[in-house]
Amino acid sequence: MSGPSEDAVFIDRVESFHVENCRRIGDSVSKGSGHDDPDGLTAARAYQGALADAGLAGITIPFEYGGAGLTAHHQELFTQTAAAWYRPDSALSISHGMCLPMLNQYGTHEQKAAYIADLVRGATIWCQMFSEPGAGSDVAGLETRAVLDGDEWTLDGQKVWTSGAHYCDFGLVVARTDPSLPKHQGLSMFIVDLHSPGVDVRPLVQMSGARGFNEVFFNDVRFPQTNLLGEVNQGWSLAVSMLMFERVSIGAGGGGLNAKRNPELIQLAQDLGRSDDRLVRQALADLYIHEEIKDYVAQRIRATVAAGRVPGPEGSIAKLTGALLARRTRDTAMAIIETSGQAWSQLDQQRQNLRSAAGEKWSNFCYNAAGISLAGGTDEVQRNIIGERVLGLPKEPDAFKGAAWQDVPRN
């Protein structure tokens, strides 16, 4: 671990980078990356490329694979320092929060050498492909099939709710490789090039008009044997690791929907003349308390990661805390902006009307806040995990425990 003066130098590097490239949280409202770039891709790529040029991307990834080759302690310093800034990198959150640590942890040398450097600098973007129409909470029951044919795998099936697949280059796909085994035992994880023949990505349009998710169809998609990540039929343990990376990223990462919003909302309440309202003041105080609590939970989880351990059920605690906090943030924002959360005007925004700009921005947050309770496993699923693995409560009954997947009835 580096000494205090070395820490100060590193913090200063991170701070200077963000002064150059980002806006500080609490600065007045702006619309973000704009309607011509609904996914925020241009801004995300520019930010990530600049980070890589500054030697601050992929902090704990070895230098030989295109990372910064620094320590988990540096990662923690980065996360804490960068949390004060709006970082336009949400389009990369799955790529960097989940796919990168998976490749780094389970990839062969050849896989790391082939993929990681581009991923680190945002030149390629990756997504996570677990959920299917018949397998969400019970993801181990999934049906997408991968079959070894000579020295190639063939992939057939369908994924759904795949965040960002419409702009991604690669997916980490969990597929069934042996239906004669019980459901958790016959799965494997693959690296799939989404530009391959037979991959059909269809965006799903949300009520806000945004296109964050996709359904993705695989029809006789072929890729080399070497695209297997980990071992054949060991995919469930990789999937669990990846879900824990996701839960840590959602619950204990520093940016995006997970950032501390209290300073910004206090500023907004002042700007809109709402800071004398008793209920607004109470909501802001309550939010402050819960953000601080979540910060301590997050620090504990990040310490687990920094110690080189794959996080266990504490990832579920972080994720549940983050999901509940997002809803609390949403309610506080709505109490401040009142009816502007339901209607705002583009014309007023052109006239720099703060209430209208805040209306659009926070109603977008409002739509997205509920989804955090579903993504990466629902709140109920996290409570089940915490109940079983932290509190030692009895497991959920499973009438088909140990049965071959192919013998279990499905819809």
Hey, what are 120's tokens?
């680190």
- Using the minimum distance from each CB to ligand FAD, give the nearer residue, 168 or 358: 168
Q: Is 246 assigned a catalytic role?
A: yes
- Using the minimum distance from each CB to ligand FAD, give the nearer residue, 230 or 376: 376
- In the complex, minimum distance from the CB of residue 129 to ligand FAD, in angstroms, rounded to a whole number: 6
Cα(62)–Cα(104) distance, integer angstroms:
9
- Using the minimum distance from each CB to ligand FAD, give the nearer residue, 66 or 164: 164
- Using the minimum distance from each CB to ligand FAD, give the nearer residue, 346 or 411: 411
Q: List interacting residues with ligand FAD (CB under 6 A).
A: 94, 127-131, 136-137, 161-163, 371, 374-375, 377-378, 380-381, 384, 396
Compute CA distances 355 → 167, 330, 346, 347, whole Å: 32, 16, 11, 12
- In the complex, minimum distance from the CB of residue 321 to ligand FAD, in angstroms, rounded to a whole number: 17
- In the complex, minimum distance from the CB of residue 102 to ligand FAD, in angstroms, rounded to a whole number: 13
**Closest residue to ligand FAD, Cβ-based?**
136
- In the complex, minimum distance from the CB of residue 368 to ligand FAD, in angstroms, rounded to a whole number: 7
- Using the minimum distance from each CB to ligand FAD, give the nearer residue, 142 or 297: 142
SS3 at position 194: coil
Q: What is the DSSP string of 225-286?
A: GGGEES-TT-HHHHHHHHHHHHHHHHHH-SSGGGS--HHHHHHHHHHTT-TT-HHHHHHHHH
Compute CA distances 20 → 15, 47, 200, whole Å: 9, 11, 40
Cα(155)–Cα(217) distance, integer angstroms:
10
- In the complex, minimum distance from the CB of residue 115 to ligand FAD, in angstroms, rounded to a whole number: 18
- Using the minimum distance from each CB to ligand FAD, give the nearer residue, 293 or 393: 393
Compute CA distances 167 → 40, 88, 98, 122, 334, whole Å: 11, 16, 17, 12, 31
SS3 at position 198: coil
Indicate the residue type of 80: Q
- 164: alpha, beta or left? (left if phi > 0; alpha if psi -120 to 50): left
Handedness of CA 223, 228, 232, 236 (dihedral sign): negative
- Using the minimum distance from each CB to ligand FAD, give the nearer residue, 34 or 133: 133
Residue among 246, 264, 314, 360 flagged as catalytic: 246
Cα(234)–Cα(142) distance, integer angstroms:
15
Beta bridge partners of 223: 153
Catalytic residues: 246
